[in-house]
Amino acid sequence: MQFLNSKILWHLLWAVPALILFSGYASTKRKKALTALLGARKDSPDSNTLSTRARSARNALLVAGLLAALLAAARPSWGRKIIPFTGTGRDIVIAADVSRSMLATDVQPSRMDHAKWFLRELVSACPGDRFGIVAFSGDAMLQCPLTIDKTSLVQAIDELKPGSIPLGGTNMQKALETAMESFDAAEGSHRGILLIGDGDELQGETKSVLDKLKSSKIPVFAVGIGNPSQKVPISVEDEKGKNAFLRDSHGEIVSTRLNEELLGSVALATGGVYLRSTSANPGLSDILPRIKALAPEKFAAGENTRPIERFQIPLAIGIVLLLARFAIGERRKTTAILLCCFAFISYAQEENPPAAPPHMPAPPTKASVPAANGSKKLGPHETYNLGHDKHSQNDLDSAELLYQGAAGNPGADAETRMKSFQNLGVIGHSKGRNMLSSDPEKALELFSSAEKMYREAMREDGRSPEISTNQQILLKDMEKAKKMIEERKKQQQSASDAKQEMEKASKENKEAAEKPQDKQQKQEAKDQARKAQESLEKHLDKTPEENKEERDAAKKAANEMKEAQKNQEDGDFEKAQKHIEKALEEFSKGEKEKDKDQDKDRKNAEKDEPKPEKPGQKQDDTGKKSDKNVDPEMAASILDLMTRDENKLRDELQKRQMENSQIKKNDKDW
């Protein structure tokens, strides 16, 4: 049994663990959801209809079905069928070097392995041609006669290895003579020899057989494998099975290098072609056209073998397993489903209030705590609720001040602090989004501040899905701001480069105009004008389409530089100078207009009052804006409270951080 697409099987290394882990993760999430829904009744037969055995069986069938489909994609086969054939093609005899020098690793993983890969790809790219294989080292042997059976050819190629020829050394003369004898026709232009190896000839005289090849009109296509500029040692296995360097009779390490001179001379003398094959440039695209240029010849009728594919069997098994999974249910009885649905509806109505938008959590459900001694000081819940109202009215400055007061109040509970920090993060996030297009640097600062607030909220409650969702969106917005900052820097740099090149062009052109007889100065002025033109074109490519005024100014400057180059070609450098100065003037106007537009956008963004929003989703703009100023009496009360309890707040925060670090543990590390 073999697999025709065996590379698919490598996916089993990650597919099997992934399916098992995914199945276990899904089971754990279901158990948590069931516990949250039914509580202590989760194991009661009256409330829970789930059959754990049925669910496990369904998961097992899913995993087995997908694995069977993966095996089918690998195209398993066993047995062979004989197919008669007649056709035309070329006869190519491969002379493959299997001497121990092919064990060198200057071509990864080794010269021999790379040669076998090259031959497999070559045979696959010539489906209608016949190939034969001659293996040689100190002697040569016909390992596979000319055949069109690609399966047998690939098997013979895979069996090539150093040591398969008893006599050591390298004798290319014997290899070429054996290859010539393997042709079954006396003559014809459809024959060729592919010589692949390192050209390290130790026995024989290759030049003596070149006359026979030329008279028989058989070209030699030589493929060299190795490093021609440096000798490398030969790695072999010692008696203990460990890798060691090959040594000669004197104990010296044997090294080898690619002999391109010999291989190239053989190819040139016979009308063939030589190329060096490497991992980066195999050279198949260079040698295939030369082989296909040989005139095809009609073959005699013969037989070919083909493997019998059996992918239908695992595919059918996979389909049956998946259908069986759909046929198996997970419930024990039907009536309990209605009880479960009724319990879920009752639980949702009684225990869970309507969920507030993620960007604006609902006020704490606990009652507001009045200040001591009946004073008018605002408690943490009252401060938060007032900030929530201001937030709803789009008065973000007042809301931000109130949230800070609620979060910094020593009497605030964990829920109030969490919601206050979350909404402070949302306010910074919203302001940053409104500043993103006009001032990405300022937006990135606001995003960083919002990230700190989200983290503070996560310290209070690490299970909030709204905060984690906003954090993920915030990270994407921060990446977007960084990219915009980087693009602006590149655009500014390209504008600076273009301006410098134009200034250099103006200077060189002035000198050329002052020295009309200096040919070198004229040429330098022309070269500098060309560089300035290229810099302007690069700047245009980096300038966005929406920056219309800047692009128009750059285009005008580019046109002026073109006119200046024409004048330089005509020898009128004084007129060219006027066009260069005009180009500088137009380009400077565009930069001034760009600065004005950026200042205008920044001022507009600062004037426009940002609206609270869930990052990624807009709200209606119909809300009325309220007065941005907080009531003076209320503000004084808040500031007095914060000042009076500052030391107490610091001690409480340190104590809470120590308790959180010892007891609380977040579900996720943000």
Closest CA to 75 of 126, 10, 149, 1: 1
Closest CA to 496 of 454, 466, 536: 536
Provide CATH code, domain 87-300. Answer: 3.40.50.410
CB 399 within 8 A of CB 423: yes
CB 504 within 8 A of CB 528: yes
pLDDT, tens digit (0-9, with 9 covering 90-100), for 223-249: 999 888 888 888 777 666 667 777 766
Residue 539 has pLDDT above 70, yes or no: yes
CB 367 within 8 A of CB 600: no
CB 336 within 8 A of CB 48: yes
- In the beta sheet, which residues pair with residue 253? 247
CA distances from 662 to 458, 482, 533, 658, 659 (A): 16, 36, 66, 6, 5
pLDDT, tens digit (0-9, with 9 covering 90-100), for 560-588: 888 888 888 888 888 888 888 888 888 88
Range in 122-136, 163-177, 202-216, 633-647 with the lowest mean pLDDT: 633-647
CB 523 within 8 A of CB 571: no
In terms of C-beta density within 10 A (0-12 exposed, 13-18 middle, 19 or more buried), how is residue 86 classed?
exposed
What is the pLDDT confidence band of residue 439, given thresholds at 50, 70 and 90? confident
CB 202 within 8 A of CB 169: yes
39: region left, alpha or beta (phi > 0 left; psi from -120 to 50 alpha): left
The residue ranking higher by pLDDT, 584 or 647, is: 584
Residue 432 has pLDDT above 80, yes or no: yes
Token pair for 309: 């594919």
Nearest-angstrom CA–CA distance, 348 and 95: 80
Element (H, E) at 235: strand 235-237
Range in 255-264, 316-325, 483-492, 641-650 with the lowest mean pLDDT: 641-650
Residue 334 has pLDDT above 50, yes or no: no
pLDDT, tens digit (0-9, with 9 covering 90-100), for 593-629: 666 655 555 555 445 444 433 333 332 332 333 333 4
Average pLDDT across the chain, whole number: 76
Domain-wise residue ranges, the chain: 2-80+317-340, 87-300, 378-484+612-619+631-662, 486-607
- DSSP H helical segments within 436-515, as ranges? 440-460, 465-514
Provide CATH code, domain 486-607. Answer: 1.20.120
- In the beta sheet, which residues pair with residue 255? 233
Q: What is the 3-state secondary structure (H, E, C) of 525-546?
A: HHHHHHHHHHHHHHHHHHCCCC
Q: Is the peptide bond before 632 cis (omega within 30 degrees of 0)?
A: no
Residue 117 has pLDDT above 90, yes or no: yes
CB 540 within 8 A of CB 570: no
State the pTM of this model.
Answer: 0.38
